[in-house]
Chain A
């Protein structure tokens, strides 16, 4: 792992990092990854990877729910006519 890898990860995770922090994170990550890599030696007895996500269905009923519209819209960083305003993508 090198600084370039840290920069790639930071870009993928959408986080701006300062030059000093990149170095710190690189050294922290090396130590931490070396440690968690020891998972290789953990014994696995006939098990499949488990992904506990499953669908829970609920009745398709029209229920009155409160959405606190005002609390939500008041916190938009930018808005126009009660709609969230975002920067143009293209």
Chain B
């Protein structure tokens, strides 16, 4: 019997190569867990029927002496990333029967490595939300407390990893969609530098914020997946021409080399859960114990800026779903009626709401006050961050202002938007960010902290992430 609870990509790699177990046996073990748990948790929208065949192919390659970091590793894929010939719905009725006609670049890379795709995981429709409650195919439940949300939008991916229904998963992050569900489910969520991972084959939500990244059990595993999926791509003109640093070039003497900025005024404000504050302060203390210097910095609340750009780009990106070429088609009397009916029925409430909000902020008369102002502020914020990163190497915040909330508790869309207060900033500026489990609130609900750093410096995140992980495991 394979013990999934302690298994990581790194340890599974060794065991697969040493023939302690086969990729087939590993895949079988995961399929059994999925069968036991998915009915209740709803992490997967579809479990592929050829998982064992994929594993056999991986075993053949291992037998031939091939070894890649992800060969035979069972991975879950968020349902907004295309795998050729398979369903991809973004948890939307409008794409319920859509079959992808090409592989996303990240999928192509994973296939080359020989990763085994277990299935596609639930999300908030078109990655709009923060709880997976906006899925057209039911909510994903938190494995720590099934009356609570998993977080979102990559909720299914986070739950799959947390509940041992996958060894790792891919998610996408537009304003916290990898990090927030990872924090809610007690796993590691990594949002890479914007443009370091190709978006080709990722359904667009907010093109200037979106990035694909891993959800894993350890920082080392996140680093392994990132090592495979990153890189420039001719199919995505926004990919960076250079590779981000993944390994620290110069090993600094002692960890006091790094200065960590904490935006205390943002963390201490009303509306942040007291247990979150307490847990965060403990984490800061532990880091100080390791020799890191903590510095108070000021960061603005970036939510209004984030949401204006999000609405604008979402309304533009979702214009392509019109029932003409693929997906749902509701027939009307004429072409205009086809559009109105298809989009009225096909999109869920949150998608409809954001499309209208985007149409509003982009309309003549309001453009300057909303979208224009947001773009100017974004440019100014990017400059600000260059300054901040000349004073500190890393920025630390809680990942979320609260632990996972009760399913159905938040009826007001604005109250869900406010939950993204710590995560959106990294997307606006394009910097990498890593969410790590940092303990529990009462009721055994996981909490997370988030490190951010400057563009292309994922090496710093991996280094401090591993150190923080080590003291969390052994106690300070």
Contacts and interface: CB of A to CB of B under 8 A. Distances in A.
Interface of A: 6, 9-10, 12-17, 21, 25, 28-29, 31-33, 35-40, 42-52, 55-56, 58, 66-68, 71-72, 74-78, 84, 86-89
A1 to B, nearest CB: 8
Contacts of B323: 77
A62 B54 CA distance: 33
A32 B414 contact: yes
Interface in B286-329: 300, 303-305, 307-308, 315, 319, 322-327, 329
Contacts of B305: 39, 42
A87 B324 CA distance: 9
Contacts, number: 152
Interface of B: 84-85, 97-102, 208, 234, 237-238, 300, 303-305, 307-308, 315, 319, 322-327, 329, 334-336, 338-341, 343-345, 347, 349, 352-353, 355-357, 359-361, 363, 369-370, 372-380, 382-384, 412-414, 417
B99 A71 contact: yes
A72 B384 CA distance: 46
B208 A33 contact: no
11 contacts: A13-B359, A14-B339, A31-B412, A32-B307, A35-B304, A35-B307, A44-B376, A52-B208, A67-B101, A68-B84, A89-B335
B177 to A, nearest CB: 19
Contacts of A38: 304
A32 B355 CA distance: 13
A14 B370 contact: no
A16 B343 contact: yes
B243 to A, nearest CB: 17
B424 to A, nearest CB: 12
B340 A76 contact: no
A74 B359 CA distance: 32
Contacts of B97: 75
Given A15-B344, A42-B300, A58-B234, A47 B335 contact: no
Nearest to B241: A56
B343 to A, nearest CB: 5
Contacts of B100: 71
Given A6-B356, A68-B84, A47 B380 contact: yes
B102 A32 contact: no
B101 A68 contact: yes
B412 A50 contact: no
Given A25-B353, A42-B377, A16 B344 contact: yes
A48 B359 contact: no
A68 B102 contact: yes
Contacts of A37: 304, 369-370
Contacts of A75: 97-99, 101, 325-327
B360 A29 contact: yes
A84 B325 contact: yes
A16 B375 contact: no
A58 B327 CA distance: 31
B101 A9 contact: no
Contacts of B339: 14
B85 A36 contact: no
A29 B356 contact: yes
B207 to A, nearest CB: 10
B101 A29 contact: no
Nearest to A72: B101
A47 B325 CA distance: 41
Nearest to B387: A45
Contacts of B340: 14-16
A33 B101 CA distance: 38
B304 to A, nearest CB: 4
Contacts of A42: 300, 304-305, 373, 377
Nearest to B333: A87
Contact of A39 (B237, B352, B370, B384): B370
A58 B208 CA distance: 21
A13 to B, nearest CB: 5
Contact of A15 (B300, B347, B373): B347
A50 B361 CA distance: 17
B335 A28 contact: no
Contacts of B375: 49-51
B397 to A, nearest CB: 19
Interface centre among A9, A15, A21, A76 (most CB of B within 10 A): A15
Contacts of B84: 68, 71
B41 to A, nearest CB: 29
